[in-house]
Structure 1
Amino acid sequence: MASFLQKARRIAYDSPGLDHTSNPRVKRLSRSDSLSQFIEALEVDDCVIVKDFTDRATLEEANEEVRPWLEKKEDGVKVGALQGKTRTVTGLIGKSATVREEFFADPLYQDLCEHFLALETTHWYGAEPLTTTSHPLLSISITFDIPPGTPAQGLHRDDKNHHARHTQAESYQKGRDILLGLFIPGCDTNTANGATRVVPGSHLWGDDLPNFGKDGTQGVVDAELLMGEALVMLGSLYHGGGSYEKPLGTSEKGARESRIVHAMFSCTGVHRQEEVSFLSYPIEAVKTYSKIVQERLGWKQSEPNLGWVDLKSPEYLLAN
């Protein structure tokens, strides 16, 4: 009998090709749901919404911590999928303690990172087997501040930065992904202000040209989020910011209207991080971070022998 995931794949695809169904959706779960339910949702759809990821007060605190850094940026950046209108704050977890300790270090997100990105292998020293684990690392943390007049991004996969290759599959196999992302909106995001567009199930596609239909919307869903919700997604998901065509009159008089999103991606411990953590976060600052954040920045050796200093795991430097 076919497994649940295999049945889900048959439902999600019209053919062995790249066409997606006309009625995809993103599953919404609560913290009270089990970790296995989140894992299943990601394995089936490549993304899931956490309905109660944080509360409004915590989110507003994060926004306030990030705002001074945004206000230093007069212009947007033009790199990759960002075409000159979007302001950004990079090295985010060093600039917002709330983002760092409440969002990035969140146990649910970290448990999902561990499940999808930790690598465990057994190798041999002579006749003795040795099993070691490489734990995930922070790849990038960034805030996007997207104003009206910003066109939609082209749909893309974020694991392109790691030159990831994909093969067509009927069901998900652990170890297929390099990245796991977390998007926390700083405001309500919806179709009108360009909510992130996602293509549920696209993580099982190969690397051929994807077919989104004649109008580019086949299988595409607007991942609309309320303040306090979060989107978790694998790096193989086709996605892109939506079109934010015109002002909606949602900002206070004289204030900049925009869609703010705090985003983080973690990668496997054996891949290169998108941001260079040892240059982005001064060691004196890292000493004040929680242990899980220190480790995810690379201040712990990836077993058996990656990332050492003088043949020792580098966390000893944080004790000095």
Structure 2
Amino acid sequence: MPSAKTPAFTTLPRESPDEAILEAFDRDGAVIISDLLNETSINVILKELNLDPTATSEQCVTALASKSPTIVNEVLLSSQLNRLLTARMSKTTTIWHGEELLTNTSRPYLSASVVFEAAPGKAAQPLHRHDDIYFVDHPLDIPVEIWALIALDDSGVGEGGSMIDGILESHKWGEEWDPAGHSLASSGMKRGDCFLLHGSMIHRGGENSSTSLRRTLGVSWAQGHMRQEENQFLNVSKEVAMKLDEKTQRLIGYRMNAPFGGWYELRDPITYLQPEDKVDKTMRDFLEKEIDEQNVV
């Protein structure tokens, strides 16, 4: 296990030049942008998502683009975040098409959006990399995934533990990583601060040793070319998909890929096609083993 938390992530004002934010991000694998959201916006988001500020039990809210106009306008459409994402995730290639030379650019697009909560006394997560769901070989030249994790409550030493702990510069490591002997950097964050995370950084959600619920707004983007060539979900209607056998349903995309790629409401997307009374609605944040599709009939 890593040694005690001693270093800290770099925190920069929201007004900082993009170059300064990217320099810290490239060096450490993450950077904190202060005050990305203000108090008014956070309170509106909680209201739009029907989240009780005084609640003590955990819940998760997904599909945020359909539920919170404020998240859409101030996070998904944030000009600052989109500049930073484009600078680090866009990929341009030049290809021959017959006798014509074509230049194409893959730009980042929304991958996941969720508000998740840590109840009082919740332990820290195991260390992990978010981009493991994409089966990439580390280290990467270009991030395959970037997360913006925004504190909806204060976190830090005085507020019951950090929201995120991580190993500085671990996004540059290969596959055979060993956290032993490395210090964990902690993230003391105010409400509204944004933790911009390289998907390859080794990190964990921090413990909550406070007596209050702690909420985090998480949004991730992936490289734009990582998708089906033909969009099966639009070309095969739900009504038609429900009539297919389960093996075919999973083949066209209604499945999760371990450790947690392709979830729907934090569960297996096959449940979207199942009768309401047969759906397992258990929300998870990790799939411990691959679904055995060979035995699906």
How many Å apart are 1:226 and its aligned residue? 0.3
Structure 1 match to 2:65:
93
Structure 1 match to 2:13:
30
Structure 1 match to 2:205:
241
| Rounded Cα–Cα distance in structure 2 between residues aligned with 1:22 and 1:144 | 24
| Rounded Cα–Cα distance in structure 1 between residues aligned with 2:37 and 2:113 | 18
TM-score w.r.t. structure 1 length?
A: 0.65
How many Å apart are 1:70 and its aligned residue? 10
Specify which of 185, 204, 217 is matched with residue 172 of structure 2.
Answer: 204
Structure 1, residues 112-160: CA drift from partner, whole Å, max 9, x if none? 1111111210011234321111111100000012111211101111001
Structure 2 match to 1:154:
126
| Rounded Cα–Cα distance in structure 1 between residues aligned with 2:93 and 2:221 | 20
Structure 2 match to 1:124:
96
Pairs aligned (count): 230
Q: Does residue 1:265 correspond to 2:258, yes or no? A: no
SS of structure 1 residue aligned to 2:177: coil
How many Å apart are 1:219 and its aligned residue? 2.1
SS of structure 2 residue aligned to 1:141: strand
- Quickly say closer, same or farther: Cα 1:226–1:165, change in 2 above 3 A: same
Q: Does residue 1:185 correspond to 2:151, yes or no? A: yes
Q: After superposition, where does 1:32-71 map in structure 2 within 5 Å? A: 32-68=15-51
SS of structure 2 residue aligned to 1:270: coil
Structure 2 match to 1:307:
none
CA contact (8 A) 1:70 1:89 kept: no
How many Å apart are 1:36 and its aligned residue? 1.2
| Rounded Cα–Cα distance in structure 2 between residues aligned with 1:69 and 1:103 | 21
SS of structure 1 residue aligned to 2:60: strand
CA contact (8 A) 2:4 2:184 kept: no
TM-score w.r.t. structure 2 length?
A: 0.70
| Rounded Cα–Cα distance in structure 1 between residues aligned with 2:66 and 2:180 | 38
- Quickly say closer, same or farther: Cα 1:185–1:24, change in 2 above 3 A: same
Q: After superposition, where does 1:276-295 map in structure 2 within 5 Å? A: none
How many Å apart are 1:68 and its aligned residue? 4.5
Q: Which amino acid aligns with 1:40?
A: E
Structure 2 match to 1:106:
78
SS of structure 2 residue aligned to 1:271: coil
Q: Which amino acid aligns with 2:150?
A: I
Give RMSD over aligned pairs: 3.0
- Quickly say closer, same or farther: Cα 1:154–1:219, change in 2 above 3 A: same
CA contact (8 A) 2:46 2:52 kept: no
How many Å apart are 1:69 and its aligned residue? 9.1
SS of structure 2 residue aligned to 1:112: helix
CA contact (8 A) 1:148 1:193 kept: no
Structure 1, residues 27-72: CA drift from partner, whole Å, max 9, x if none? 111232211111111110111111131211111111222234999x
| Rounded Cα–Cα distance in structure 2 between residues aligned with 1:69 and 1:34 | 36
